[in-house]
Amino acid sequence: MRSRLPLVLGISVLLLSACFPWSAPENTTETPPATDAATSSVDTEEQEDGVTMKDGAMLVMENGQMSRMEKDVTYEDGTTVKMDGIVTLSDGTTLMLPEGMMVTVDGRLRMRDGFASIQEPPVVIAPPSSAPSPAPQVAAASATYTAYSDAVMKDGKTKVFFFHASWCPECKEADATLQSWFPSKDFTRSVYKIDYDTAKELKAKYGVIYQHTFVVVDGQGTKVSLTQGPTDEQLKALLK
């Protein structure tokens, strides 16, 4: 009877092992798989063709590949992009491309994906060509005060003849005043000084009988008006 007991115990152990299989304790700490540092960052930028400014360099995006810009480019709509970052749009606007912005092949300015904003807005160098150009400034001819000559009689311009006498105090004052006013762009009529004592024909032509007389004549030398001894304000009115 005793010789059978070890056999019975052995069979019991085998039966229990079959009913309750043993397994090694699980390791509760999981180790993530090794990741290549070069692929740990996924580029989520939309691969749209164009030219962009990145880290201060002009780069070309074409067919999903980015490379350094090696020459100026011109797109079909007329937009041009230069290697120095200067962009001229189809409407003529010229600007400096800022960091984080790109010009697409259809001439659009847009933020490069991955940039929520740019530090500085584009610096516009020139306005659109559609903007009206300022009218050219034409320098106005200055009215002058000079001595009379026969050449100015029929010069086509309205002017003023000043009959002046060297011995006349009022004439001297008027002469000094006119020299301080001219040349001037405030007046449209030039003044020509005529010697009252010697210009007998001109005095007769215009009916001048008194020194310190101002005669307004048209472009053909015809008298328009005659004023004797005008005040400064009256004289200014003659010169307008």
Return the domain boundaries, the chain. 50-126, 145-239
127 confidence band (pLDDT: 50, 70, 90): low
- Quick: pLDDT tens for 175-226: 999 999 999 898 999 999 999 999 999 999 999 999 999 999 999 999 999 9
pTM for this entry: 0.44
- Domain 145-239, classified CATH 3.40.30.10, yes or no: yes
Least confident residue range of 71-85, 119-133, 164-178: 119-133
Is there a contact between 91 and 127 (Cβ–Cβ < 8 Å)? no
Highest mean pLDDT among 20-34, 114-128, 183-197: 183-197
pLDDT of 31 > 80? The answer is: no
84 confidence band (pLDDT: 50, 70, 90): confident
Averaged pLDDT, 87-108: 85
Percent of the chain with pLDDT over 90: 40
Q: Can you tell me the distance from the alpha carbon of 126 to that of 140, in angstroms, rounded to the nearest whole number?
A: 29
Tell me the chain's radius of gyration from C-alpha atoms.
Answer: 49
Q: Which residue has the higher pLDDT, 97 or 125?
A: 97
Q: Which residue has the higher pLDDT, 99 or 3?
A: 99
pLDDT for the residue 130: 54
Q: Can you tell me the distance from the alpha carbon of 155 to that of 86, in angstroms, rounded to the nearest whole number?
A: 53
pLDDT for the residue 64: 80
SS3 16: helix
